[in-house]
Chain A
């Protein structure tokens, strides 16, 4: 309960408890996990000393899923059961994925469903479940290294991920049994790693452009760092542009040259992609690269590609990223000379042509002194450590934005923007609606994300049914719908009828997401597999939480209970504390939880007063600063 733990300056709060935390970079091609140990943030290797975990999962009927290098090795022989690049699919419909990424070497069941399922020997699986396997593997690695369960994790997502993609990522973490402290934008995470790296040199302050080209996503963020506070001024990008596209365009070229571009089977496609990836990597250091393919009819095909030809193929893709950079600069109202540093993130920035063109756009050589593959995970680990409360005195704060405008459909298939892109989160807006017909008791609202005027050009996020509107004559009901975007960039909607005060029920139908019920079902499945006694676990968790609440509340009451509470309020809180303490030996998790929630309810005003007091004292500090 940190709000109740806020201490006066110079005074330490309740005895410090170290919480184990990790940062996870869940990438399209590779994933990593990092933690802070003895003050140093490092990525963690597997038993063979490898830090990268290929984001590939192989499913089979009998055994548990295999994640990482062994799965990657099997991709060629078992392409249909080996899922790579699940991040490209997450939070998307199948039609959309096909439109964005071309051919996919998997078999999909029920392709029109909101969440496409991939048919594998291990069952029909959603991209959320595939990602959960990767997260489990990484979390296990962190727990083995740290020697205990993780209190929470920070998972990075592309800055340009929309609500559905963020929600799906969080769902994957829930399935993996992880507590998500925060979803953090990848470029922001990289910026954190760089700011600490450069803090001593005093060069960290100022405006930074983070150019992040990963396997499947591209992000550009413009940030300003001032005394430990990172403000994202603008974020932009393309959530379907990455180094994989370099491979794809190169593979396509090879298949065309080999004369099999139309008739290639799954195996040939995979082979071409791997040959292309190898050639791309060679061309980063060598002037030419050889490509070889075994064609479906058994013929061998080979060709030599020089760097100029390769660059000609990928230039249009780089152009797309640079156009996004210019837009982000415009949105941030920052001109090129005002940018103090350009940072390269993501494995695909190893391609020399990318570096060359980024340098040309910004008129300065970009920084790449932290391994571009690891920098995001390292930043995430630092943020996780901070959020866990393990860095008292560190005033680092990240103020992020939503990358895409949020709007609602008005009749006629047009979009009315409610929250513009690059609004700092958390953010909320309310809009009032009315009824069209006499006695109307329900209303549908369609929420979209995107910058275009037509519904068809934006991403559908969800449809909301408002029910329980009191029946009135047309136009008399005033329904206020509030849209809230939290610090994870996730949307929540609430609605109430203003004239009667009736709270309308909101039913959410995510356009490309799993419902709460589906997640609960998957979760109970996975726990059954894990063979864990769910009830015992829940009781244990509730007890720990209850004790934590009681302890910090006792400390807070001693400190300022007299000043902030009147007798009646204090009695109510103490009664609720006694009631909670009485449940601690119970084996009924719900009973403990209910008592804890009742106590939190009783503390409501106290918590708000403490918040106001914190604001007061912080502003008092400001006034003193202003005179210096």
Chain B
């Protein structure tokens, strides 16, 4: 991957600028950003510090406030409260057309009455860049997104992926101080989505644009971002690198949203060092505590399917429970097995062995991977 990206990066560097792309801003600071729609607080006390050149994803389900946050940043929505500062300059009171930010929309929002070339030139014309320079820069950016030969076509004549590239080209050609992307891949089919994901990563590396990227797709966020901001109901729930958010979720909600599909309601038995928990059906397990837990507390135990070992029936040991295979799904790079066990509900495990429906198995849940969160999260996770 790295080896492949390297030569491309060298090639595009020449096209864009001769020197190494330095971020156009040093830092972005967002404080207390709040937006209400009537009684609904769509965004509450949004705080974030971004370094120049960083790629940040706002991740969460629909209605979590991520698009509201992005629109407030863009200036398209007016926050009720809060401060946005770029290198010491407050931009909250500046209208969107004067913020010099770039934005890519979910439906691309290409101007249907203008050719590709005129679409891309639009921002430069607004900046009153001399005509000759405009042509030059449009050509260069179209080559960068590999659509140099589509200049005179109209948007309706292009495929979805091509339209997306033009939308990106139109935003980056003005050399924006901040790049905002609103679910840019969600209108594409699965294969194109992967391709464009790589493309966005490549452009980010080539141009060094500070980027805020909104998505509801955890894979997209994990693969693209330097840091992920996980949101829910208008609040930031966790900020961290993809690795941190994936491996060290701050809450049962975070764990669940990032693919930990097994959530067990449990009761804490002992909380010294590793936590001892008891499931509804009386099985006792050992887990790793996350947050304040005292004996007798309701709690949620979370584990990823790939961290569960499926063993042959009859094996026992710490955190090992017997079960019966209910369904087997081949998912390409592995097999997902749903097991009915003494634990509450079904447990989904990921394996490479071929189990069959009705097989008796033993589930081993490693204590260091079984994260136990206080139950106050419980209501939100479902």
Q: Do A and B bind each other?
A: no
